[in-house]
């Protein structure tokens, strides 16, 4: 797995969030990508008619990383424990077990398609994850939440 860097080493910060109205249900994802040295920011969001919260959380990170044009040091800031633990704890085990999980590795990994896509992006970029508490007033997390909710409104 990629060497861990401190957040001060990051070239860019990627703030992400995803959510659903119902789980499963209509869902949205969003990210704010910031280049601290230049102050430039990029916001994007999207939605799916029928999805889960975890899929939207993963999609936000994937879509943000996909916008990068070259290998980059990235600090991903998310309120998703699922994404953070998946990256730091579960992903290496799943890969070693042939993308299986559970006792004796006999259950398929949930959201395997997205985890595989994220794994490919993690091979390109040096990524660290920072967890923030959701709905705690963190400005970028709140902005991502607002964008994600707005994105799925068209499906309600």
Digit-coded pLDDT (tens) for 94-139: 999 999 987 777 899 999 999 999 999 999 999 999 999 988 899 9
Total count of domains within the chain: 1
Q: Would 96 be classed as within a structural domain? A: no
pLDDT reported for residue 149: 97
Where in the sequence is the domain holding 67, given as residue range(s)?
7-84+126-155
Q: Would 103 be classed as within a structural domain? A: no
Q: Would 1 be classed as within a structural domain? A: no
CATH number of residue 38's parent domain: 3.30.420.10
Closest to 5 measured CA to CA, from 62, 72, 73, 65 = 73
Catalytic positions, please?
Answer: 17-18, 57, 79, 135, 145
Q: Would 30 be classed as within a structural domain? A: yes
Q: Is the pLDDT of residue 80 over 70?
A: yes
* pLDDT, greater one: 4 or 127: 127
pLDDT band at 9 (very low <50, low <70, confident <90, very high): confident
Q: Would 90 be classed as within a structural domain? A: no
């Amino acid at each position: 797995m990629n060497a861990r860097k401190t957040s001060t080493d990051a070239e860019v910060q990627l703030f992400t969030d995803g959510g659903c109205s119902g789980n499963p249900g209509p869902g949205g994802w969003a990210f704010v990508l910031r280049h601290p040295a230049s102050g430039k920011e990029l916001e994007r969001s999207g939605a799916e008619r029928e999805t889960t919260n975890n899929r939207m959380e993963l999609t936000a990170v994937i879509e943000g990383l996909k916008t990068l044009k070259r290998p980059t040091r990235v600090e991903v800031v998310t309120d998703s424990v699922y994404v953070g633990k998946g990256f730091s704890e579960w992903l290496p085990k799943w890969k070693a077990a042939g993308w299986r999980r559970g006792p004796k590795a006999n259950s398929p990994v949930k959201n395997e398609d997205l985890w595989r896509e994220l794994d490919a992006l993690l091979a390109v970029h040096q990524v660290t994850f920072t967890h923030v508490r959701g709905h705690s007033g963190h400005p970028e997390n709140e902005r991502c939440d607002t964008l994600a909710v707005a994105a799925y409104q068209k499906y309600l």
